[in-house]
Structure 1
């Protein structure tokens, strides 16, 4: 037994050294660590809420309901907002005007979704909400608006007061590039905090999703004084016939951004075959969401917490619509009385 003792000691020492190498002792800093985290910036709102305007229909080609008073919000827009640290209150377009105004006073920004409706009550409500956005900013609140696809088109019509200003384009179910306008200043815009490498890739690779039949050419845009006074062009894109249209604009004096493309689809929709799902495409989604919600955090509005809880979209349940072939995987569906007056 005495013969094997030294060998056992050597083996145990070797094992101890080997174990130490696998689990090295943590080196403690010489300076004492602060026990309290620094206070967050008191000028920012770290509980932002976004109002998303519902769109007429059920979002599933009437598979759920063909009633005239039904509207929907694709769940991808909700997930998009949540991914950047905000919550959502649905702005149901055919609610009574006083209810819509109450809800607008509970949010820190608004999102206009994609869709197809360009007339009637929906158009008038979007027009009224846009005016409220401008009024809130003019009154001193930093109140952002992000308008996506149809939202872009509606703003073009509203600002020009010309319901026929849009042109036809062949950009349905198309992944595309963004061509950045030469000399465009990205300071304070959607692209300000994008990594430079990602911006380069967006101009070379098809990282954004287009799904529209209408738009406006750079020539027609620049020929309209109302559009040029309100917006500056940041990007253009080419449709499947190589026709060029304006794809991203930023307001000159308001936190209003409009994109003809769909930043929410890359990460949260699967129903269209051309949606890009690469890692870079997902980064595009996240960077747009981060920008929009960072703008909403600047809002001065601090609504009653219980009123917010009472109106959050969590009070509704999404429906799985992916099998309907509508292009949306999930939708929130709302039913209201029809024939209501606009804002």
Structure 2
């Protein structure tokens, strides 16, 4: 031992003694009970909330890769980015396979606390009918007092517009394929209670000035189209608009007036979880903050659900029972997909 180390030993002992004394604690770290004698410890959780929320994600026809991964009859998929998105907010996921027996699908709906309709292209046939059935069931749950949120993302928004308006030709063409954009708020005073309610002021400002969200769609609704349709205007309130490649304005975010339903013409999940499909997806820190906050809102709404499913039934149906496939090797399409045959 060096002479210097020998001299340091008494000093270390002295400091340790001070840290253990009342006099030493005056400049040290205090326990909560020392600062506040009546400190209650961790507060009790809100018993009205469900802290194990489960989100149902509806599969889409195909393999998500134009048959490169599977061309089996009746195959469907979920891009893994939607699953990760729901999990980022603190929820688990159960896949709702669009072409499984109706009895099975309806049983799964009793295990989830909210639903996501994903992006894609299918607007007809059994897929449209399944979306319609789930949407009707979601409204029924809410009408019965069970808070049941629903996110419609791109195609999901388009299908909701078709169903609510009862007009399968309601959509208009827009040129917003693989581009980033800003969001222009109709009235920031109306964001309370919406998906944007927890966004800090600096991020709300950046959303209007910077290209923080990913757009990839060929259809949509102009504000005039939505507002001039009696059924749509009664159901939806416009939150934001965006501009396509030809300077046409379209509705980019809307929410239902009387239900926990949010419709996105943009992809809130992509900034954090998709890398192969396009260099136009924004991956900045602020873009990822947007993804996180939108995911947080979905899970927070799902926690208000009164559904308390059987834990084992949930485990038997979770997405964890399936293995994702890496589809991004070619540098296009989704990075990962779950395929259901």
Q: TM-score, normalised by structure 1?
A: 0.90
Equivalent-residue separation in structure 1 for 2:308 and 2:7 (angstroms):
68
Match of 2:129 in 1: 124
Structure 1 residues 169, 311: CA separation in 2 closer, same or farther (over 3 Å shift)? Answer: same
Q: 2:177 aligns with which of 162, 172, 179?
A: 172
Q: 2:52 aligns with which of 25, 47, 52?
A: 47
State the shift of 1:64 in Å: 1.4
Q: 1:26 aligns with which of 26, 29, 37?
A: 29
State the shift of 1:186 in Å: 1.1
- SS class of match (2:161): helix
- Contact 1:267–1:282 (CA under 8 A) maintained in structure 2: yes
Structure 1 residues 105, 12: CA separation in 2 closer, same or farther (over 3 Å shift)? Answer: closer
2:274 is equivalent to residue 274 of structure 1 = no
Equivalent-residue separation in structure 1 for 2:82 and 2:121 (angstroms):
16
Match of 2:306 in 1: 300
- Contact 1:60–1:325 (CA under 8 A) maintained in structure 2: no
RMSD of equivalent CA atoms: 2.3
Q: 2:254 aligns with which of 249, 254, 262?
A: 249
**Deviation digits for residues 101-142 of structure 1 (CA, Å, limit 9, x no counterpart):** 000000000000000111111011001110000011111100
State the shift of 1:320 in Å: 0.3
Match of 1:309 in 2: 315
2:167 is equivalent to residue 162 of structure 1 = yes
State the shift of 1:240 in Å: 1.3
**Deviation digits for residues 222-266 of structure 1 (CA, Å, limit 9, x no counterpart):** 111111000000000001111110000010000000010000000
Match of 2:139 in 1: 134
- SS class of match (1:68): coil
Equivalent-residue separation in structure 1 for 2:36 and 2:15 (angstroms):
30
Match of 1:327 in 2: 333
State the shift of 1:66 in Å: 1.3
Q: 2:270 aligns with which of 265, 274, 286?
A: 265
Structure 1 residues 176, 224: CA separation in 2 closer, same or farther (over 3 Å shift)? Answer: same
2:235 is equivalent to residue 223 of structure 1 = no
Structure 1 residues 191, 298: CA separation in 2 closer, same or farther (over 3 Å shift)? Answer: same
State the shift of 1:183 in Å: 5.8
**Deviation digits for residues 24-74 of structure 1 (CA, Å, limit 9, x no counterpart):** 853453444857522210000000000000000001121111123000000
Q: 2:77 aligns with which of 58, 72, 76?
A: 72
Equivalent-residue separation in structure 2 for 1:169 and 1:100 (angstroms):
33
Structure 1 residues 175, 18: CA separation in 2 closer, same or farther (over 3 Å shift)? Answer: farther
Provide the aligned length of Structure 1 versus Structure 2. Answer: 329
Equivalent-residue separation in structure 2 for 1:115 and 1:324 (angstroms):
19
Q: Give unpaired runs (5+ residues) of structure 2.
A: 19-26
Match of 1:285 in 2: 291
- SS class of match (1:232): strand
State the shift of 1:193 in Å: 1.1
- Contact 1:184–1:234 (CA under 8 A) maintained in structure 2: no
Equivalent-residue separation in structure 1 for 2:11 and 2:310 (angstroms):
65
State the shift of 1:80 in Å: 0.3
Equivalent-residue separation in structure 2 for 1:83 and 1:243 (angstroms):
33
